[in-house]
Amino acid sequence: MRMARPGFEDAGRPGGHGAATGAAAARDVVLPLSRSRVAAMLEELDYPLFRDRNGDLGAMWAQAVFHIYLLGPDESVLQVRGSWHRRLALERLGEVLALVDGWNREFVGPKCYVRVLDDGRLSVVAEVSTPLGGGASDNQLERLIQRGVGQGMRMMRDLEVHYPDPAEQPPGGLS
């Protein structure tokens, strides 16, 4: 008779904790990455899910729009990319680059950068990419999406502090 090691659950044996941990164990099974799994996870997280005209998945909040992409020839790279909801004047490029550079030096993630749009305004982007060629469990996928959105939102909040919404101020700059 095989005995369970102390400190470890004996989930697969009669009288063990299998019923209690079966669903939890299923969330640890590594499965291939797919759009349907990502969409299901966004729904499970109760994120405000949308699909754009290209079929890409995303979630929208007051300060940012996040797209969740599956990149690469086999769509095995999960990328969570957030764009700040406001645009900045091109004349602010130097100061915005300094802010983003400081962010990238201070924090491991997300990677942040500035894009110059076709209309000459600036867009600030935060992204996290994770190669998952071997797949991911539901628990891993949940953490990766939450971390990508959470880290991106942290950057977006910093942008709100540095560039407050002028419409929130009374006319004439009175406080």
Which residues in the chain come in under a pLDDT of 50?
A: 1-15, 20
Tokens of 30: 């590594």
Residue 171 lies in a domain: no
The CATH number given to whatever domain includes residue 104 is 3.30.1460.70
Q: Is residue 146 part of a domain?
A: yes
State the pLDDT at residue 94: 97
- Tell me how long the chain is: 175
In angstroms, the CA 110 to CA 105 distance is 11
Q: Measuring CA to CA, which residue among 44, 49, 45 is closest to residue 61?
A: 49
Give the number of domains in the chain: 1
Q: Does residue 9 sit within a domain?
A: no
- 13, part of any domain: no
C-alpha–C-alpha distance, residues 86 and 83, integer Å: 9
Give the domain range for residue 48. 19-163
Q: Regarding beta strands 111-116 and 122-131, do their DSSP bridges make them parallel or antiparallel, or are they unpaired?
A: antiparallel
Lookup result for tokens 């406080």: 175
Establish if 59 belongs to a structural domain: yes
Q: How far apart are the C-alpha atoms of 3 and 149, rounded to whole Å?
A: 43
Q: Which amino acid would we find at residue 155? A: M
Q: Does this model's pTM top 0.85? A: no
Predicted pLDDT at 144: 96
* Any domain includes 4: no
Residue 7 within any structural domain of the chain: no
Give me the pLDDT at residue 4, please.
Answer: 40
